[in-house]
C-alpha cells in the first residue's frame, strides 16, 4: 500500500510529516500512514497530523481514503508511549498522568479530534485495512464511514490488556457496528477478529481480493459516489442521525434533508 493504481496525473502531495502523507487528486484525498518500519504505530504527532488532514477536504472532495503502508494498517499506540518519559520521547502516558487529571483530559480530547472528523465531514471516508489494525489502529478504521479489508486483516482492541480502555471514539463505533454484548466480548478478551468474521459482524463492509485490490476499490468508490456530493453528504448525516433519533425526530430529519435536496435541484435547474 497505498492503493494508488488509478490516481490521476494531477495528484499532489499536500502534506508529508509525522508519519502521515496526504495526496490530493481533486475529488479524492488519500491519507496514508507511512511508517511501515513500526507497522504504522501511532504517537501524538501522528494524531496531530491526522487531525490536520481535515483541512485538505474541500468542496471538490468526494472521498477520503485512509490506508497504511507496509504489512499492517496500524499496530496501534507506539510502545514508546507506554514507558517512562525520555529526552527522545518526552510525552508518554506516565508523563501526562503525572501532570494531573486536567492535563490528561485535555490530552485525550485533543487525541480524539484525530478520530472524530472522519464521520463528521461531508466527504465519504473509507479505510482500507491490511494486516493488523490494533487498538488505536482498530479505532481509526472504525472512525471512517466504511471499512474495506484484505483477507489478512485482523482487528483487535488490546487496551484492556494494558489496563486501559479504548478512548478514541472506538467504543461508540464498535457498539454501533456489532451491538453491546459482542463489543464487550471483543474488548474484554482483546482477541483478534479476522477479516471474514469482521465482515459477518458488520465491522467490515467489503472484503477485497489481493489480486484485484485497486480495481475493486475504484469500483466501490465509483458506485458510492454515483449520486451527487450533496446527496451522499445528506445521506451520510441523515443515516447517522437515525442511529439515535426517535422515529418522530427522524421523520423530521428526513423532511429537512429532502427540503434541502429539492432546493438544490431547483437551483441546478435554473
8 A C-beta contact, residue 101 and residue 43: no
DSSP H helical segments within the chain, as ranges?
Answer: 44-52, 93-98, 101-120, 136-143, 170-178, 180-189, 195-201, 213-224, 229-242, 247-269
Domain pair 12-226 / 230-269, same fold: no
Prediction pTM value:
0.93
| Domain ranges (residues) in the chain | 12-226, 230-269
Find the catalytic residue in 120, 159, 244, 264: 159
Residue, of 69 and 81, whose pLDDT is higher: 69
Return the CATH class of domain 12-226: alpha beta
Least confident of 8-22, 57-71, 76-90: 76-90
What's the mean pLDDT in 17-32?
97
Return the CATH class of domain 230-269: mainly alpha
8 A C-beta contact, residue 253 and residue 245: yes
Helix (H), strand (E) at residue 63? strand 63-68
Can 268 be counted among the known catalytic residues? Answer: no
8 A C-beta contact, residue 93 and residue 33: no
Amino acid at each position: 500500500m497505498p492503493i494508488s493504481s488509478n490516481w490521476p496525473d494531477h495528484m499532489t502531495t499536500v502534506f508529508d510529516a509525522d508519519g502521515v502523507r496526504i495526496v490530493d487528486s481533486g475529488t479524492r484525498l488519500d491519507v496514508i500512514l507511512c511508517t511501515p518500519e513500526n507497522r504504522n504505530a501511532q504517537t501524538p504527532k501522528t494524531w496531530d497530523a491526522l487531525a490536520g488532514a481535515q483541512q485538505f477536504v474541500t468542496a471538490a472532495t468526494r472521498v477520503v481514503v485512509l490506508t497504511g503502508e507496509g504489512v499492517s494498517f496500524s499496530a496501534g499506540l507506539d510502545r514508546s508511549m507506554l514507558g517512562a518519559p525520555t529526552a527522545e520521547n518526552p510525552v508518554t502516558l506516565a508523563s501526562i498522568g503525572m501532570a494531573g487529571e486536567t492535563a490528561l483530559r485535555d490530552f485525550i480530547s485533543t487525541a480524539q479530534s484525530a478520530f472524530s472528523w472522519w464521520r463528521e465531514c461531508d466527504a465519504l471516508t473509507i479505510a482500507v485495512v491490511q494486516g493488523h489494525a490494533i487498538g488505536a489502529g482498530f479505532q481509526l478504521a472504525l472512525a471512517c464511514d466504511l471499512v474495506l479489508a484484505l483477507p489478512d486483516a485482523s482487528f483487535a482492541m488490546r487496551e484492556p490488556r494494558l489496563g486501559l480502555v479504548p478512548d478514541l471514539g472506538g467504543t461508540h463505533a464498535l457498539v454501533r457496528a456489532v451491538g453491546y454484548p459482542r463489543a464487550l466480548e471483543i474488548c474484554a478478551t482483546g482477541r483478534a477478529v479476522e477479516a471474514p468474521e469482521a465482515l459477518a459482524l458488520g465491522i467490515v463492509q467489503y472484503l477485497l481480493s489481493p489480486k484485484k485490490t485497486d480495481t475493486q476499490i475504484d469500483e466501490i468508490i465509483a458506485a458510492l459516489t454515483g449520486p451527487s456530493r450533496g446527496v451522499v453528504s445528506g445521506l451520510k448525516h441523515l443515516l447517522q442521525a437515525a442511529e439515535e433519533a426517535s422515529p418522530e425526530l427522524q421523520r423530521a430529519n428526513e423532511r429537512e434533508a429532502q427540503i434541502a435536496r429539492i432546493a438544490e435541484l431547483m437551483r441546478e435547474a435554473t
